[in-house]
Amino acid sequence: MSVKTLQDLLDSGVEGRHVLVRSDLNVPLNDNGEITDPGRINASVGTLKALLDAGAKVIVTAHLGRPKGEPNPKYSLAPVAEALSEALGQYVALAGDVTGEDAHERANGLTEGEILLVENVRFDARETSKDDSEREEFAKELAALAADNGAFVSDGFGVVHRKQASVYDVAKLLPAYAGNLVNDELDKLGAVAKDPEQPYVVVLGGSKVSDKLGVIEALAEKADKLIIGGGMCYTFLAAKGHNVQESLLQEEMIDTCKELLERYESKLVLPVDLLAASEFDSAKAETKLVDLDSIPEGWMSLDVGPETVKKFGEVLASAKTIFWNGPMGVFEQEAFSKGTAGVAQAIIDATRSNGAFSVVGGGDSAASVRLLGLDEDGFSHISTGGGASLELLEGKDLPGVAVLNA
């Protein structure tokens, strides 16, 4: 799919023009409202910097969390504006509303090379409305911020799989372009989706089989091996007859997992040992390495064990293309992070020693790389979009990309 790019916009001239940019600044916050992983903010800098350096008046839209369609101080973009200011090396003003009086006054007052961030677009319920007319109404208000000679740049890859006002509908109202981040994601992930070099190994984690069912079915057809870890592996293990005790389990998906195991028996790779815990909180829990049938009664597994890491690593060592989405365990707690760290390191090793093209599929996987202090340069590409990267590899159309080609 060919879309107009940021370079096309820059070539047409942006000096003095308002440019509305949809970025993905949905970063994780701790209980104190502090950003714990600024990865998406840092990834947005390239496109914004290019526009600012070219003299554009930049207005950024973004969301944070799920505020349920109304203003909520917990989900204010205030900490994001501060972090973005630091990343860009210049002040980023934050409007007190989304498309209200303050946003318009600040947008109108921008001079060349200045940037404004409007408040969380999900403070307005129309952003995510299923009603086309409601979304279109909100999109018109967003487009109005860019004045008469404005343009739109889609640079939030993590949201292009959503048919939302600031992603999809606004692109119909202004000359629309793909930002550098979106363009790069489409290029790198597109190569994996269309023509992966064999052997092709997919590593899937995360909590629910139901969330990844379509991906498992789509990628199992293309991949040589599909490694299953994380919370979703326990439903597969239960389908094989193992007693997973209190581990995360989707009982309604057991029969589906049995069918997948039969259909893709030679491709699916499951854990061989586990790290069991007496409770979820690592500060209080007893832990024990166990084989698949030895989780103590009433305990749960919260990570894969070292033999599993070794087995997964052996599969990854010969790969030429690797796609990883989803941690192997509860990596946020150090006691349950070794499986994720071990598998990630095996991917890095394959990238460096075997020349594999390795893609980290955004979301928790990307966050774990940074939280665990792994070498980001050890991967060929770290995506900013978890759901979007999965849907692209699954072969689905991404509304926020398709509209740029309209």
Other Cβ atoms closer than 10 A to 46: 15
Please check if 86 is assigned to a binding site. Answer: no
Judge whether 364 is annotated as a binding position: yes
- 161 among annotated binding-site residues: no
Q: Is 241 annotated as ligand-binding?
A: no
The residue type found at 406 is A
64 labelled ligand-binding: yes
Q: What is d(CA 363, CA 274) in angstroms, rounded to the nearest whole number?
A: 24
Beta strands in 41-150 (DSSP E): 57-61, 93-94, 115-117
Confirm whether residue 15 is marked as ligand binding. Answer: no
17 labelled binding-site residue = no
- Please say if 313 is a catalytic residue: no
Q: Is 137 annotated as a binding residue?
A: no
Question: Does the annotation count 387 as an active-site position?
Answer: yes
Closest residue by Cα to residue 385 from 151, 181, 139: 181
Known catalytic residue: 208? Answer: yes
Taking the C-alpha atoms of residue 16 and residue 89, their distance in angstroms, rounded to an integer, is 20
DSSP codes joined into one string, 306-353: HHHHHHHHHHHHT-SEEEEES-SS-TTSGGG-HHHHHHHHHHHHHHHH
Tell me which of 342, 363, 385, 386 is the catalytic residue.
363
Q: Quick one: DSSP state of residue 33?
A: S
Tell me if 26 is assigned to a ligand binding site: yes
Asked if residue 302 belongs to a known ligand binding site, the reply is no
Secondary structure element (H or E) that encloses residue 140, with its range: helix 132-144
Does 212 show up as a binding residue in the annotation?
yes
Q: Is 370 in the active site?
A: no
The single residue of 4, 188, 208, 352 carrying the catalytic annotation is: 208
Does the annotation flag 362 for ligand binding? Answer: yes
286: tokens are: 């007893």
Burial of 66 (C-beta count, 10 Å sphere; 0-12/13-18/19+): exposed
Q: Active-site residue among 17, 22, 39, 40?
A: 40
Q: Which residues does the annotation place in the binding site for ATP?
A: 212, 332, 362-365
Annotated binding site for (2R)-3-phosphoglycerate: which residue ranges? 40, 122, 162
Enumerate the active-site residues. 40, 208, 363, 387
Binding residues for substrate: 24-26, 40, 63-66, 122, 162
Q: Annotated binding residues, as ranges? A: 24-26, 40, 63-66, 122, 162, 212, 332, 362-365
